[in-house]
């Protein structure tokens, strides 16, 4: 398929319908290991799509309880991690990236010949010198990476929509890796699947989430909010002009029909200014994106993530940082603005 002049390999549900996916995987037991964010989305979609799926999760704790609440039955469809890996023919390794490193020595013995090891991130394999995740040569190693949160994957599935995913094959030991990866991609509820490699997936994913999807957007929004506040604008005006209008009014327009369509639905005054100021914003941020990509490609970002996320108290530290964000003036103002949406009254 041609994307803006470039040919790419993609697979749609039309070419590879759900019935075909069920046929390909009819003799497989899929174990979804981990029940954090992607685990629930992928396992519930697979279950609702009629696949033979079980969940492997650390016993006790909140996520085990969440799995039980979602209808996974201990001893029948919910097991501890090692038992699920033993029963599986396909192991979907959906622990957090740091936990994948820690748990790997305990689960690799269950990767017997002909099984498949599935990831939703290229992290563990690409940075193998840092993760020590080195699968045996006689298993398939495949990837389906939904391009969005597991929460969205599930929500969009329930709405009859689909979140796009990339797919990759690192190792095809059985000759069935392509059928397996595409069938799983369709089964977890992907909109369409586009081809990548483990390395390109992790480089683009780490760049995207640090960049426009999460890091850059928060930096940009905050910079504008602060500028408005420093010049005497009230929080309500600053938040509406920075965040609320973006998410509620303008983003849906460019999601639906592209940036030019959103521009076309704004005043000529806005269009002139936006077209003129796009250049300076582009030029100011491009060097930051270039620096970010090179930090990802040399492995520094992966190492930072491994070092911080494998500390025993990392969750408390993270919660403090998230609380600071939540309690900042901009996001406290946001909570009030959201409450005032008529649909929330």
Ligand X SMILES: NC(=O)c1ccc[n+]([C@@H]2O[C@H](COP(=O)([O-])OP(=O)(O)OC[C@H]3O[C@@H](n4cnc5c(N)ncnc54)[C@H](O)[C@@H]3O)[C@@H](O)[C@H]2O)c1
Q: Which residue bears the tokens 């406290």?
A: 332
> Is residue 166 part of an annotated ligand binding site?
no
CB of 66 or CB of 338, closer to ligand X: 66
Least separation in angstroms between residue 313's CB and ligand XAI is 21
Q: What phi and psi values does residue 35 have, to the nearest 5 degrees? A: -135, 55
What is the layout of strands, in order, in the sheet containing 78-79?
A: 10-11, 190-195, 163-171, 140-146, 116-119, 90-93, 30-33, 53-56, 78-79
23: partner contacted, choices ligand XAI, Mg ion, ligand X, none (Cβ within 5-8 A by kind): none
Of these, 97, 140, 201, 205, which contacts Mg ion (CB under 5 A)? Answer: 205
Least separation in angstroms between residue 208's CB and ligand X is 11
> Is residue 209 part of an annotated ligand binding site?
yes
> Is residue 70 part of an annotated ligand binding site?
no
**What is the rounded (10 degree) CA torsion for 64, 61, 84, 170?**
100
The helix (run of H) or strand (run of E) holding residue 134 is none
Least separation in angstroms between residue 37's CB and ligand XAI is 7
> Is residue 313 part of an annotated ligand binding site?
no
**What is the rounded (10 degree) CA torsion for 298, 303, 304, 308?**
170
> Should residue 209 be labelled a site residue for ligand XAI when binding is judged by CB under 6 A?
yes
> Is residue 102 part of an annotated ligand binding site?
no
- Looking at 42-50, 86-94, 126-134, 205-213, which segment touches ligand XAI (CB under 6 A)? 205-213
Quick check: is 121 catalytic? yes
From the list 205, 210, 233, 219, the residue with the least C-alpha distance to 284 is 219
CB of 99 or CB of 333, closer to ligand X: 99
Tell me if 167 sits within 8 A of 180, measured CB to CB.
Answer: no
213: partner contacted, choices ligand XAI, Mg ion, ligand X, none (Cβ within 5-8 A by kind): ligand XAI
> Should residue 149 be labelled a site residue for ligand XAI when binding is judged by CB under 6 A?
yes
Residues 6+ away with beta carbon under 8 Å from 93: 33, 34, 100, 107, 117, 118, 119, 124
138: partner contacted, choices Mg ion, ligand XAI, ligand X, none (Cβ within 5-8 A by kind): none
Considering the candidates 47, 115, 121, 229, report the single residue annotated as catalytic.
Answer: 121
Tell me if 228 sits within 8 A of 241, measured CB to CB.
Answer: yes
| Beta bridge mates, 53 | 30
Of these, 28, 140, 201, 205, which contacts ligand XAI (CB under 6 A)? Answer: 205
CB of 65 or CB of 209, closer to ligand XAI: 209
CB of 28 or CB of 205, closer to ligand XAI: 205
Please give the positions annotated as active site.
121
Contact positions vs ligand XAI (CB under 6 A): 148-149, 205, 209, 213
């Amino acid at each position: 398929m041609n994307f803006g002049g470039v040919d790419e390999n993609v697979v749609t549900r039309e070419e590879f319908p759900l019935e075909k996916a069920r046929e390909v995987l009819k003799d497989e037991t899929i174990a979804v290991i981990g029940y954090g964010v992607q685990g629930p989305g992928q396992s519930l979609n697979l279950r609702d799509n009629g696949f033979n799926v079980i969940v492997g999760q650390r016993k006790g704790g909140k996520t085990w309880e969440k799995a039980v609440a979602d209808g996974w039955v201990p001893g029948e469809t919910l097991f501890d991690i090692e038992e699920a890996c033993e029963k599986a023919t396909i192991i979907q390794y959906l622990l957090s990236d740091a936990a994948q490193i820690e748990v790997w020595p305990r689960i690799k013995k269950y990767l017997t010949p002909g099984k498949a090891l599935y990831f939703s991130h290229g992290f563990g394999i690409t940075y193998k010198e840092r993760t020590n995740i080195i699968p045996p040569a006689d298993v398939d190693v495949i990837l389906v990476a939904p391009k969005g949160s597991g929460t969205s994957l599930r929500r969009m599935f329930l709405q009859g929509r689909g979140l796009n995913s990339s797919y990759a094959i690192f190792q095809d030991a059985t000759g069935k890796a392509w059928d397996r990866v595409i069938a799983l991609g369709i089964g977890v509820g992907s909109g369409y699947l586009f081809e990548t490699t483990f390395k390109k997936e992790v480089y683009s994913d780490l760049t995207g989430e640090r960049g426009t999807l999460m890091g850059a957007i928060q930096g940009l929004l905050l910079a504008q909010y602060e500028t408005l506040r420093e010049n005497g604008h009230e929080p309500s005006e600053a938040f509406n002009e920075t965040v609320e209008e973006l998410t509620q009014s303008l983003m849906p327009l460019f999601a639906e029909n592209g940036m030019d369509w959103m521009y076309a639905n704004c005043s000529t005054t806005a269009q002139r200014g936006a077209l003129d100021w796009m250049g300076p914003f582009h030029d100011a941020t491009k060097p930051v994106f270039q620096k970010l990509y090179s930090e990802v490609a040399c492995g520094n970002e992966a190492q930072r993530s491994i070092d911080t996320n494998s500390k025993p108290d990392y969750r408390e530290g993270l919660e403090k940082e998230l609380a600071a964000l939540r309690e900042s003036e901009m996001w406290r103002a946001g909570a009030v603005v959201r409450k005032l949406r008529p649909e929330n009254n």
